Amino acid sequence: MERFLPILQTIQTRLRELLRRNEQYMLHWDVPKIRGVGEDLIDLAWDVSSDLIEVEHRILYRSLSEAGLGIWNRASEVQNRSLTKEDKEYFKSVHEALGNLCEKIETGEYYKALQEVASKINYKKR
């Protein structure tokens, strides 16, 4: 499980920076830059994918990747039309979900939950 800590640290550091930037972009609804955050999330997911596979934790890769793809797709659609209230709600909800994930990593809650799951799996294997 200790191998997981550096991966979480990388994700937390990069994700916190992406959230900071995205928050600034959402103040003025700078859609091209929000789209760039989506691309950066996809890059983050890709960059940690092999490490996450190695520690058998693909769900975090999928979560980051899906969030990035969702932001990228929605921002791409918005570039061809007007930004709606629903678009803003979508971007805010994804931002909030990622913020919650980042907070759980920062506080150690995410790692603790992983340890609990791992201990239950190991207990069942006995």
3-state secondary structure 29-78: CCHHHHHHHHHHHHHHHHHHHHHHHHCCCHHHHHHHHHHHHHHHHHHHHH
Among residues of the chain, what percentage have pLDDT more than 70? 94
29: left (phi over 0), alpha (psi -120 to 50) or beta: left
93: how many CB neighbours lie within 10 A of its CB? 11
Q: Which tens digit of pLDDT belongs to each residue from 29-48?
A: 999 999 999 999 999 999 99
User: On the CB side of 11, how many CA atoms lie within 13 Å of its CA?
Assistant: 28
115 falls in which pLDDT band (50, 70, 90)? Answer: confident
- Tell me the average pLDDT of the chain: 92
pTM, entire model = 0.88
- pLDDT, residue 119, reads 75
pLDDT at 49 exceeding the cut of 90: yes
SS3 at position 56: coil
Residue 114 — pLDDT band, cuts 50, 70, 90? confident
d(CA 15, CA 105): 10
Q: Which tokens belong to 62? A: 């999928």
